[in-house]
Amino acid sequence: MEVLINGVFIGALYGLYGLGLALTLGLMRQINLAHGDFIVFSAYLTLQGSLLLGVHPLMVLPVVAVVMFVVGFVLQRLVIQRTLGRGEMPPILVTFGLSIILQNVMLELFSADTRNLNPGPLGAASIEIAGLSLGVLPLLTLVVAFAIFWATSAVFGSTKFGRAIRATSDSDQTAQLMGIKTSRIFAVAMGLTLAISAIAAGFYGMRGNFDPSTGPERMLFAFEAVILGGVGSIWGALAGGILLGLSQAAGSLINPSYGPLVGHLVFLVVLLALPGGLMSLRRRQ
Amino acid sequence: MISINDLHAGYGALSVLFGVSLHVAEGQTLALIGSNGAGKTTTFSVLTGFVKPRSGKVTLNGSVISGLTPTDIVSMGLAMVPEGRRLFPSLTVEENLMIGAHCDRKGTWDLQRVYSVFPTLEPLRKRPSSSLSGGQQQLVAIGRALMSNPIVLLCDELSLGLSPAAVDVVYTAISRLRAEGMTLIIVEQDISRALASSDIYACMRHGGIPLSGPSAGADRAQISSAYFGMD
């Protein structure tokens, strides 16, 4: 039972990985292939900040999120925006190139050594609920994930900014006819996705190891969470992430090395049975 | 109110407009008529900022707007009801209307006023815009443009793809806006409808305006000649 509950906890983290991708893919109709590398880069920034200031990684996380917001804003404005409107391939190629550049920059700056973020006593703390011993850090990950999903859903669902980005996603040209500065809106949205990824990176670094080459695997989990949930659905990314986490946990019960394999198999089965993802079930009802 | 002076425009090596000049006074409605390829869409594209003019200028209330970005032009008071409505399918009816007010231009148009002018829309406010009939969608598109509190409203092919009954509903709404003193430029394929719904008309052909004048008492034979180029 504890293994499955831990699957839910790790799934919440996958959901957070996926949220940034869900926003770029579903709302901005862009694919950022460097998404996983930005998560790892954020983890390194958190590590450096934590070591430099001598404080807990969680204290540095808000600052890293702000830094990554600016990085996302500038990246969209100066690089990705220039590739839009020229077909689907240019943004894919540019972000693929960015992924390689980022991996090499991280290798140069931080070496290939495996690192992690030291959670301190938080890492070992646990609480007893209904006879089950649950880690405080995984529980915190779940709570933070729900809070971020709720906030994102509220911002994109019922604010002026949210309406503007959904309208821009439907039609860039018509959105401009409404007075929406679409390139600015997309830049803010990309900033938000990287800020969310930075928060995910903090919890990732405190719960596992990372090195410059682990980005693509984060990207894969993020992609699977989004597809499992349903492209374009914010809460779908969380549902998809949790299903992926649960599948991996169930697989590891059979054999500890089967976790990722079972996760990928469940992804394939759901993709075949429900191409629209889990949220398509809700829409059918 | 809005003046177009000796406008030349085109796309790449292709020239489309050759010295278009028009003037619409406050409260007037201009009907822009002409066959496909006459230059109506390019004229609207220049007015809304999507095509930069090669020469000539457009002034709105005395301020030059030609060459500005589409978003700046909306902020200065020029709104458009695009051809084919182009509502945002992922937004509800009310969200589509609210997005029209994105530029925060001050004025008397708000949700309440739009619902009072188009009462059929209020019960549909929470519905996805894509679930509406063509006529209802056109009313939403007009309401959305009005939410920006425009000085001048451009309407492109309002009757396109609508049933005759829906066209009547849409043009009743246009009549009401005219009665309220709104300045309008409408592009319409149905010449009779265009003349009946305007104060002045301009017939475009080959990127120029061979014929223009008051809509009341316009000579249909003369318009047909200009429209089809039977000089």
Beta bridge mates, B31: B186, B201
Over residues A2-58, the pLDDT tens digits come to 778 888 999 999 999 999 989 888 777 788 999 999 999 999 999 999 999 999 999
Q: Which residue of A has its CA nearest to B97?
A: A178
B48 closest CB neighbour out of A160, A167, A177: A177
Share of chain A above pLDDT 70, in %: 99
Judge: A180–B90 Cβ closer than 8 Å, yes or no: no
A167 closest CB neighbour out of B69, B71, B91: B91
Over residues A156-187, the pLDDT tens digits come to 888 999 999 999 988 989 999 999 999 999 99
Q: Which residue of A has its CA nearest to B130?
A: A170
A166 closest CB neighbour out of B71, B74, B88: B88
Contact with chain B for residue A179, Cβ under 8 A? yes
Residue B231: predicted pLDDT? 56
Contact with chain B for residue A159, Cβ under 8 A? no
Q: What are phi and psi of A103, to 5 degrees?
A: -60, -40
- Amino acid identity, residue A82? R
Distances A233 to A20, A189, A239, A280 between C-alpha atoms, Å: 11, 15, 10, 10
Closest CA to A259 of A245, A269, A270: A245
CA distance A166 to chain B (A): 7
Q: Which residue of A has its CA nearest to B142?
A: A178
Cα angle value A249/A250/A252 (rounded, 5°):
65
Distances A79 to A66, A190, B191 between C-alpha atoms, Å: 19, 12, 48
Cα angle value A168/A185/B59 (rounded, 5°):
80
What 3-state class would DSSP assign to A111? coil
Cα angle value B28/B29/B34 (rounded, 5°):
145
Identify all chain B residues contacting A176, using CB atoms and an 8 Å cutoff. 50, 69-71
Q: Is the pLDDT of residue A152 over 60?
A: yes
Judge: B102–A170 Cβ closer than 8 Å, yes or no: no
Residue A123: predicted pLDDT? 85
Residue A283: predicted pLDDT? 62
State mean pLDDT over A179-205: 94
Q: CB of A239 within 8 A of CB of A246?
A: no
Which residues make Cβ contacts (< 8 Å) with residue B134, sequence separation at least 6?
Answer: B85, B161, B162, B163, B166
Identify all chain A residues contacting B50, using CB atoms and an 8 Å cutoff. 173, 176
Q: CB of B43 within 8 A of CB of B19?
A: no
Query: What secondary structure does DSSP assign to B151-163, as a single string?
Result: SEEEEE-TTTT--
Alpha-carbon distance of A142 to B50, in angstroms, equals 47
Identify all chain A residues contacting B89, using CB atoms and an 8 Å cutoff. 170
B82 closest CB neighbour out of A166, A174, A179: A174
State the pTM of this model.
0.85
Over residues A210-241, the pLDDT tens digits come to 999 999 999 999 999 999 998 878 899 999 99
Contact with chain B for residue A163, Cβ under 8 A? yes
Q: Using H for helix, E for strand and C for coil, what is the string for B24-74?
A: ECCCCEEEEEECCCCCHHHHHHHHHCCCCCCEEEEEECCEECCCCCHHHHH
Mark out the alpha helices in chain A (DSSP H runs): 2-22, 35-53, 57-75, 81-83, 89-110, 136-158, 160-170, 172-177, 182-207, 215-229, 234-254, 259-273, 279-284
Judge: A169–B82 Cβ closer than 8 Å, yes or no: no
In total, the C-beta contacts within 8 angstroms joining chain A to chain B are: 60
What 3-state class would DSSP assign to A65? helix
Identify all chain A residues contacting B91, using CB atoms and an 8 Å cutoff. 163, 166-167, 170
Residue B186: predicted pLDDT? 95
Residue A128: predicted pLDDT? 87
Cβ under 8 Å to B: A residues 251-280: none
Judge: A178–B148 Cβ closer than 8 Å, yes or no: yes
Q: Which residue of B has its CA nearest to A172?
A: B88
Which residues make Cβ contacts (< 8 Å) with residue A134, sequence separation at least 6?
Answer: A2, A5, A126, A127, A128
Contact with chain B for residue A181, Cβ under 8 A? yes
Low-confidence residues in chain B, pLDDT < 50: none
Alpha-carbon distance of A157 to A160, in angstroms, equals 9
Residue B217: predicted pLDDT? 83
Q: Which helix (H) or strand (E) holds B75?
A: helix B70-76
Residue B26: predicted pLDDT? 93
Cα-Cα-Cα-Cα dihedral sign, residues B15, B21, B27, B29? negative
